[in-house]
Amino acid sequence: MSGTGTLLDGRVDGHRPATALELFFDLCFVVAVAQVAAVLHGDPTVEGAATAAGLFVGIWWAWMAVTWHAAAGDRDDAAYRVGILTAMLAVLAVAVGVPDAAAGDATLYALAAGALRVPLVALWLALRRRATSPGLRAFTGRYAAGSAWGAVLWAGSALADGTLQHLLWALALAGEIAAPYLAAAVADRAFYHPGHIVERYGLFTIIVLGESILAVVVGLDAVDLGVEAAAAAVLGFAGAAALWWLYFDHAGAGGLGRSRQAGFLWGYGHLAIWSGVAAFGVGVHLAIEQAGATGALVAAAVPGPAGPGAGELPLEPLFLGPALALAALAAIAASSRIAGAERSVRVRAAGAVVLGAGGLAASAFAPVVATAGVVAVLAAVVVTERLARPAGAGG
């Protein structure tokens, strides 16, 4: 970065790699995503999934907001660094507040989420002061207004609870998520480097996939290592590898840069991809725990210190997580209008349907069988796409 504080024209040549500060910023989200995954692991029910999803959305948008600001602003001076480092501290506070928020006390989570938006407002206003045209001032002003809207509602929600608090969160996110679309509507050119955005999204995908790898280690550490637990762990790693292969060989930039609608679907559609991958990691953890407790291919209930027995742990996230990710990848491929994308849409959609059906019958499967089935479907999707078109074709 040049440190000039100007706006980056999306039509520039060459590649703009992620900066050291951006990579440092991403580290905070390793903790935040792990905290949300722990919520789903502790309550892998429909209600628990809804709670985890709600908390994850707030964390997802925090990453999105800072990432797109960094993509638009060509800046790396001391004030910018202090702003991003302050936002990082707020992200860590959000992560600390996740368990209490899941339990019903979201005071810290809400206050930290509001505080996170404050430096972002300042950074957008700093870019606005350097704008060289009315269109640029409107572009940056709408982004700043969206972040200010979020800061007020998130912080204000700390004074509320229950339904009112969740309503304020929804209103905050609605305004923030709409801001980029409204900003793009007044811009006369693109203010991001497509290659940079693809790299940044790929790095966050790695973070979420890392939770699946962590689940293998943590799951094995929590049980007596036996054949069943080891098999579930190996299969869980294979599933994470298949998701990595599918995303990085075949997802590509999709419709990013082709049209405003396709670009927004690509960018926002990653919420479903990341949510699905994170849920898969939780599913792997549950499968290893169940396999370690049963020590047999046929699951049997083993009483635990609290709640259901380890053999009764739900395995729905193992199936439904990848199903959600594949469905999102299918939608992104459909919007890309890339030649040959129709086949990718069909393959991914078919995989999502099969895994979704498996999720509905998850209780009928032993953990190793369930994990093997999920890996088989993911592998089939990867192989089919690889045979259909060259790797890295995108879509």
CB-hemisphere CA count at 13 Å for 331?
Answer: 20
Whether the Cβ atoms of residue 77 and residue 110 lie closer than 8 Å to each other: no
What's the one-letter identity of residue 294? T
Partners of residue 74 on adjacent β-strands: 6
For 325-345, b where at least 16 C-beta lie within 10 A, e where not — what string? bbbbbbbbbbbbebeebeebb
Provide the pLDDT for residue 336: 73
* Alpha-carbon span 215 to 34, nearest angstrom: 10
Whether the Cβ atoms of residue 210 and residue 29 lie closer than 8 Å to each other: no
Model pTM score: 0.85
Provide the pLDDT for residue 379: 96
User: Over the stretch 192-231, which tens digit does the pLDDT of each residue have?
Assistant: 777 788 889 999 999 999 888 888 888 777 777 788 888 9
Count Cβ atoms below 10 Å from residue 185 Cβ, excluding itself.
11
CB-hemisphere CA count at 13 Å for 12?
Answer: 15
* Alpha-carbon span 22 to 87, nearest angstrom: 12
Provide the pLDDT for residue 11: 47
* Alpha-carbon span 280 to 171, nearest angstrom: 29
Kindly provide the residue ranges of all beta strands, DSSP E only, lying in the chain, ordered along the sequence.
6-7, 73-74
Provide the pLDDT for residue 298: 37
* Ranges under pLDDT 70 in the chain: 1-15, 74, 188-191, 252-259, 294-313, 338-340, 389-395
What's the one-letter identity of residue 31? V
3-state secondary structure of 208: helix
Closest CA to 236 of 200, 277, 201, 202: 277
Q: Kindly tell me the sign of the dihedral angle through the C-alpha atoms of 382, 387, 391, 395.
A: negative
